[in-house]
Amino acid sequence: MARRLPPLNALPAFEAAARHLNFSRAADELNLTHGAISRAVKHLEDQLGVQLFERATRSVRLTPVGEPYAVAVREALDQLALATQTATSRHSGSTLNVSTSDGFAGKWLVPRLYRFHRAHGDIDVRVSTTGRLTNFRGDGIDVAIRYGGGHYHGLTSEFLTGEEVFPVCSPKLLQGPHPLRTPADLRHHTLIRDGYRIDWAAWLASAGVEGVDPNSGLTFDSATFAVESAVQGEGVVLGRTMLVSADLATGRLVRPFDHALKAVSSFYLVYPPEAIRQRKVKAFRDWLFEEITPL
């Protein structure tokens, strides 16, 4: 008996639009135009003979028919993506695709990857640091290391470690005409920031420091560049445990003060539940937990 199937090429557009409830965001995710998403959804509705979205001037919402259909389509696409990944992995070698931030990759993951390769020489690792959260659908990502609250719908999320935030600097700044001895000495030095949610204003207030402008100094989009600037003696950066531990261990950076703030967010290993069946994912997961000491 022949299956009655919808136009399959319209389903990714519909699923993304249903998940975001926004055609523009769906277009950005799929690298399409807003018009292409709209046409794909309209074509699907015409073929099904039902309305899936209620459209307003600046918003859309799923109809009573569209809502359960979106859930079913999402589950079907997830299963198809997993089956495709399983089928092709046998022929494309054992390559593990990891998504994470540039700071975590550059300052923690990459310097340690040689140990993973030493233990699992048959598994190649590709690290993606685009800054865009993967949805594990069609982007080739196997696992992600995310910084947040740990609640990711439909995905397995395993706590890796918490984090503290504290000033770090080059050992050179402990000497000279204005050596760093107390937090008040920061008024004589350049503050470096990277856009992290705990900023200098919060740390200075918690330390009871006055007379220091928290908005002055250097700002970088990249945490890696911000930390490297501090290593070079350009100023003092708010270090995050996972991003400065290696430089502290080698003496490239020092902690001039003991005062630290506990971060609200933490690092999590995130992946589709079925992915743990793959040997490469299981091997990487086990290695991470051996390498990381939870806070």
Residue 1 domain flag:
no
59 vs 13: which has the higher pLDDT:
13
Whether the predicted pLDDT of 123 surpasses 90: yes
Whether the predicted pLDDT of 12 surpasses 70: yes
Residue 143 domain flag:
yes
Do 255 and 227 sit in the same domain of this protein?
yes
Residue 277 domain flag:
yes
Residue 177 domain flag:
yes
Residue 66 domain flag:
yes
Over residues 203-220, mean pLDDT = 92
Whether the predicted pLDDT of 175 surpasses 70: yes
Rg (CA), the chain: 24
Q: Which of 63-77, 122-136, 239-253 has the lowest mean pLDDT?
A: 122-136
Do 249 and 177 sit in the same domain of this protein?
yes
Do 187 and 234 sit in the same domain of this protein?
yes
Do 19 and 68 sit in the same domain of this protein?
yes
Q: What is the DSSP string of the chain?
A: -------GGGHHHHHHHHHHT-HHHHHHHHT--HHHHHHHHHHHHHHHTS--EEE-SS-EEE-TTHHHHHHHHHHHHHHHHHHHHHHHHTTS-EEEEEE--HHHIIIIIHHHHHHHHHH-TTEEEEEE--SSPP-SSSS---EEEEEE-S--TTSEEEEEE--EEEEEB-GGGGSSSS---SGGGGGGS-EEE---SS-HHHHHHHTT--S--TT-SEE-S-HHHHHHHHHTTS-EEEEEHHHHHHHHHHTSSB-S----EE-S-EEEEEE-GGGGGSHHHHHHHHHHHHH----
Do 157 and 283 sit in the same domain of this protein?
yes
Do 219 and 133 sit in the same domain of this protein?
no
Whether the predicted pLDDT of 98 surpasses 90: yes
User: What total of structural domains would you count in the chain?
Assistant: 3
pTM of the model: 0.67
Last residue of a domain, one of 66, 88, 110: 88
Do 224 and 237 sit in the same domain of this protein?
yes
Q: What is the pLDDT of residue 86?
A: 64
Q: What is the pLDDT of residue 243?
A: 92
Do 288 and 155 sit in the same domain of this protein?
yes
Residue 3 domain flag:
no
Q: What is the pLDDT of residue 1?
A: 59
* Residue 193, domain CATH: 3.40.190.10
Residue 141 domain flag:
yes
* Residue 58, domain CATH: 1.10.10.10
Whether the predicted pLDDT of 90 surpasses 70: no
Do 187 and 213 sit in the same domain of this protein?
yes
Do 143 and 284 sit in the same domain of this protein?
yes
Model confidence over 20-43: pLDDT tens digits?
A: 999 999 998 888 999 999 999 999
Residue 83 domain flag:
yes
Last residue of a domain, one of 32, 64, 88: 88
Do 50 and 70 sit in the same domain of this protein?
yes
Q: Residue-wise over 77-97: b if at least 16 C-beta within 10 A, else e?
A: bbeebbeebeeebeeeeeebb
Do 154 and 173 sit in the same domain of this protein?
no
Q: What is the pLDDT of residue 194?
A: 87
Q: Which of 62-66, 86-90, 124-128 has the lowest mean pLDDT?
A: 86-90
Confidence of residue 85 (pLDDT cuts 50, 70, 90): low
* Structural domain boundaries enclosing 274: 95-161+266-292
Last residue of a domain, one of 61, 88, 115: 88
Whether the predicted pLDDT of 176 surpasses 90: no
Confidence of residue 92 (pLDDT cuts 50, 70, 90): very low
Paired tokens of 253: 């950076």
Whether the predicted pLDDT of 264 surpasses 90: no
Whether the predicted pLDDT of 93 surpasses 60: no
Q: Which of 86-100, 138-152, 280-294 has the lowest mean pLDDT?
A: 86-100
